[in-house]
Amino acid sequence: MKFHILTWGCQMNDHDTEKMSGLLLNAGFSPACGIDDADLVLLNTCSVREKAAHKVFSELGRLKEAKANRANSANSPMLIGVAGCLAQQEKEKIFKRAPYVDLVMGTTALKQLPKLVADALSGGGRVIDTNFYADNHLFPPEVIQRGPAAKALVTIIEGCNHACAYCVVPTTRGAERHRPAPEILAEIRGLAERGYREIELLGQNVNSYQGGCAFAELLYQVAEIDGLEWIRFTTSHPMNFTRDLAQALVNIPKIAPFLHMPIQSGSDKILRRMGRGYTSGDYIERVGYLGEWRADMCLSTDFIVGFPGETDDDFEATMSILEKIKFDASFSFIYSPRPDTPALKLTDDISDSVKHERLARLQARQTELTHMSHRREVGKIIQARIESQGPIEGQGGQEGQQSQQSYWLARTAKWRNVRLENPNNRPAPFGRLISAKITDAGPHWLKGEVV
C-alpha cells in the first residue's frame, strides 16, 4: 500500500505531515510518487481563511474524478482522508460536501491514524475521529519522518490560549499543551547527533511556553546542544514577549536574527475589537526591548486589513505603524469571516473594493521597505545555508547562447533567499553554511558570490 499526503497551512501542519508519514511507514505503507499511484491520499488541511478551505474543496473535486477512474480500472481502489484544521472544524460535514471521502481525522487524533486507516480498509464504511486527545503533543520523536532538509521542525506547544476574535485556531487546535522541556531537549540532542544543524521550535504561540521553564530559559538550554548552528522559532505573540526573552535573543549567538511577531493592526480600536490584548504602543515598547539587536535583524509581522469597523483612520494608523517600525517583511491578508469565531457577531461592513485598495497600499509600501532592508545587506559578507541548485541558465537562450551557468540558492540567517553565482558549475553542497558576499538586492531576493 502506498500513501501520498498533500499539505496546506503553517509549519505546524508541515510537521504533522512528517508525523503522519512516520506513522504510515511504521504501519507498513510506503510513499507513493504522487496521487496517481497512491492507495491512500491524505489531505492535511488549513482553515485559517476561506481561501485556504476553498483550496481543499477544489482538490477534493479533482480527487473525486481520480478515485472514480481508479474504481473503473483493475488497480486497487483509492482511499481519501481529510486531516488537519478543516477536518477538525467541519467534522462529519466533510462527508456531506464530499461523500467520496473515506476518512476524517482531527488535529489531535494523529496517533489514531494507523487504526483509522485499517478500519477504512476493512470496508466498514466511513471512519471519523475528531475527538480531542489532550496528549497529542507527546508524540514519539523517533516516529517522525523528516525530509532531507538541514532544518528540523520541533514542536514545543500545541494549541492556543488566546482568543483573537477572527481566528479558528483555538477551536481547531484546542487550548495550549506544553511539551516537557527535558523531552524537547532530548529530541533536539538526537537531531543534532543525526546531523541536523538548524532547528525551528514550533507553537502557535511559542513564547507563552511553560513546560517546566519559560521560553527564554528553554532557548538558553537548546543553545547548549553541540552541533546546532542556528535556532529559529515561530510564532511569537506580542503579549508574551518579555524583556527576558529579548535579552535571550541578544545574548545567544546561535539564535537566528529573525523575529516573526504578528501585529495585525496599528489601530488601538481595532486591536481591542480583535481581542489582541495589546495596544500599538505596547507593541512598539516590546520591539524596543530588542535594543541594538534590532539594527541588524529581520522583524517580520502579519496584518489583517478590513476587519469589521476598520475606518479610513484606523487603516491610516496601520500605515503609520508600518512607517514607525519599518518591518523588514510582512504578510497581509483581507479579513476572512470564519465559522465559530467571535468576530462573526460583528458586521462585516467594509466593501470589497476598499479592502482590496487597503491591502494593495499596505503591500506596495511593504515591498519598498523590504527592498530597503535587503539593500542594507549589499556589500556585507554573511552566512547562508545552501538549499538547492538553480537550473542551468542560458540553454537555448538568446541567439543560441549556451552559457551553461548554474547557481545555488541559499537561505540567510534572516530567512532571505540568496542566489549565488556558481561560475564553475560545482555541485551544490546542500545543507552547508557558506560565507557569501552580497552583491545586489531586489525586493524579493539577494544576489551574491561565495567567498
Residue 206 binds ligand F3S, judged by CB under 6 A: no
Q: Tell me the three cell numbers of residue 335.
A: 479579513
What is the rounded CA–CA span in Å between residue 14 and residue 103? Answer: 20
The residue within the footprint of ligand F3S, chosen from 4, 13, 83, 332 (CB under 6 A), is: 13
The residue within the footprint of ligand SAH, chosen from 43, 48, 87, 245 (CB under 6 A), is: 48
Q: What is the DSSP letter of 183?
A: H
What is the rounded CA–CA span in Å between residue 137 and residue 203? Answer: 11
Taking CB within 5 to 8 Å according to partner kind, which of ligand SAH, ligand F3S, ligand SF4, none is near residue 46?
A: ligand F3S
Binding mask 157-196 for ligand SF4 (x = CB under 6 A): ---x-xxx--x-xx--------------------------
Of the listed pieces 26-34, 156-164, 219-227, 397-405, which binds ligand SF4 according to CB under 6 A?
Answer: 156-164
Question: Are 436 and 449 in contact, with CB atoms under 8 Å apart?
Answer: yes
Ramachandran class of 264: left when φ > 0, alpha when ψ lies in -120 to 50, beta otherwise: left
Tell me which residues in 257-286 interact with ligand SF4 (CB under 6 A): none
The residue within the footprint of ligand SF4, chosen from 179, 237, 374, 414 (CB under 6 A), is: 237
What is the rounded CA–CA span in Å between residue 211 and residue 280? Answer: 29
Identify the CA nearest to 259 among candidates 301, 219, 289, 291: 301
Residue 336 binds ligand SF4, judged by CB under 6 A: no
Smallest separation, CB 338 to ligand SAH (Å): 5
Smallest separation, CB 84 to ligand SF4 (Å): 15
Q: Tell me the three cell numbers of residue 429.
A: 553542497
Smallest separation, CB 187 to ligand SF4 (Å): 23
Full 3-state SS string of 386-441: EEEECCCECCCCHHHCCCCEEEEEEEECCCCEEEEEECCCCCCCCCCEEEEEEEEE
The residue within the footprint of ligand SF4, chosen from 44, 88, 89, 204 (CB under 6 A), is: 204
Binding mask 77-116 for ligand F3S (x = CB under 6 A): -------xx-------------------------------
Residue 12 binds ligand SF4, judged by CB under 6 A: no
Whose Cβ is closer to ligand SAH: residue 215's or residue 407's?
Answer: 215
**Residue 293 CB-density burial (10 A; 0-12 exposed, 13-18 middle, 19+ buried):** middle
Amino acid at 70: R
Whose Cβ is closer to ligand SF4: residue 156's or residue 169's?
Answer: 169
Residue 6 binds ligand F3S, judged by CB under 6 A: no
Taking CB within 5 to 8 Å according to partner kind, which of ligand F3S, ligand SF4, ligand SAH, none is near residue 170?
A: ligand SF4
Question: Are 309 and 349 in contact, with CB atoms under 8 Å apart?
Answer: yes
Question: Are 272 and 308 in contact, with CB atoms under 8 Å apart?
Answer: no
Smallest separation, CB 7 to ligand F3S (Å): 9
What is the rounded CA–CA span in Å between residue 372 and residue 376? Answer: 7
In the complex, the residues that contact ligand SF4 under the rule CB under 6 A are 160, 162-164, 167, 169-170, 204-205, 237
